[in-house]
Amino acid sequence: MAHDDTVAPLLPSSAAPPRRNMFPFVCAALASMTTILMSYNLTLMSGAELFIREDLGLSDTQTEVEIRV
């Protein structure tokens, strides 16, 4: 019986590249969109806060409670 020096791999090789896990990409995209929307909301409300206070005749404390709730 002849001894062969070549060793077969444990797992067969595939021509296709490995599949990427999309979960981190989706999480990063959602976090980015959430941050953008929150900053837009804060910017919009800080500009509207002046008019809300003036129109309703609210004090600073009442405005903070109204805006944050």
Kindly report the number of other CB atoms within 10 A of residue 62's CB atom: 13
Q: Which helix (H) or strand (E) holds 40?
A: helix 23-56
Q: Which residue has the higher pLDDT, 18 or 9?
A: 18
User: pLDDT-based confidence at 67, cuts 50/70/90?
Assistant: low
pLDDT digits (tens, 9 = 90+) for 12-48: 666 777 778 899 999 999 999 999 999 988 888 888 8
- The predicted pLDDT at position 26 comes to 95
Whole-model pTM: value is 0.49
- Give CA separation, 21 vs 18, 25, 27, 30, 64, in Å: 10, 8, 11, 16, 43
Rounded to 10 deg, the angle between the 23-56 and 60-68 helix axes is 150
